[in-house]
């Protein structure tokens, strides 16, 4: 049995769903462009630099969810999927996912982006399992706060291990384990699996992968 884990943003997607969700809300006038656009870009730059404070970012990212009904959020998300996400789902990414699923692997997305944004994306890829940062809810409405450990950096290992335990499994249950990612922020989980793969990697991850002989591939075709 094999375990196959995928990062989402800039790995399976030819872009960043987190960043694009905020930009979409700005374009709809839900968020104030002058206030939010610069902060959204600043957080994105911090992520790429490896300096992101995940809790500061989640406070920024999740608060808009608490201001609107779930019905309205779901309607916006359907439009967001059509206009922003589907164009970022490349044939190469779909093909790679399908090959692993057809081979009988247990396949999951592991992403720091919250599950409200990412669950419909995982479903569109046909991936049955999602390990994402969880936005807390009360009475069916989002509170604007995260629940539990964010799936970010070493937190991805913690969340994957808790998920495997819920299935009655552990790392030793698998003959091979794969993780595909673009980002040096994912080095903890990349170093944990038996088969790390760098996908359209940032410079830091590319150098790390080349030094260790990891496969490097692109899904942007």
Which of 9, 16, 186, 202 is the catalytic position? 9
| Spatial separation of the C-alpha atoms in residues 13 and 179, rounded to whole Å | 15
What SS3 state is found at 162?
A: helix
Buried b / exposed e across 175-198, counting CB within 10 Å, b at 16+? eebbbbbbbbbbbebbebbeebbb
* Bridge pairing between strands 129-138 and 106-114: parallel
Which of 7, 18, 182, 186 is the catalytic position? 7
| Spatial separation of the C-alpha atoms in residues 123 and 74, rounded to whole Å | 15
9 among known catalytic residues:
yes
Closest CA to 133 of 49, 2, 8, 42: 8
Handedness of CA 149, 50, 201, 59 (dihedral sign): positive
The catalytic residue positions are 7, 9
């Amino acid at each position: 049995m094999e375990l196959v884990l995928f990062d989402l943003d800039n790995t399976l997607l030819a872009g960043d769903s987190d960043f694009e969700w905020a930009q979409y809300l700005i374009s709809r006038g839900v968020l104030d462009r002058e206030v939010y656009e610069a902060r959204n870009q600043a957080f994105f730059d911090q992520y790429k630099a490896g300096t992101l404070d995940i809790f500061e970012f989640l406070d920024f990212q999740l608060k808009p969810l608490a201001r609107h009904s779930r019905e309205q959020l779901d309607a916006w998300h359907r439009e967001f999927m059509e206009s922003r996400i589907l164009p970022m789902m490349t044939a190469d990414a779909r093909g790679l996912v399908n090959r692993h699923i057809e081979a009988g692997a247990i396949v999951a997305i592991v992403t720091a982006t919250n599950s409200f944004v990412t669950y419909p994306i995982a479903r569109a890829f046909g991936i049955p399992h999602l390990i994402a940062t969880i936005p807390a809810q009360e009475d069916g409405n989002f509170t604007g706060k995260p629940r539990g450990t964010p799936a970010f950096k070493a937190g991805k290992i913690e969340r994957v291990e808790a998920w495997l335990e819920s299935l009655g499994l552990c790392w030793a249950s698998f003959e091979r384990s794969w993780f595909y990612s673009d980002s040096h922020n994912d080095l903890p989980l990349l170093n944990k699996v038996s088969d790390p793969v760098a996908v359209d990697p940032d410079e830091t991850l590319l150098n790390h992968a080349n030094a260790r002989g990891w496969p490097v591939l692109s899904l942007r075709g």
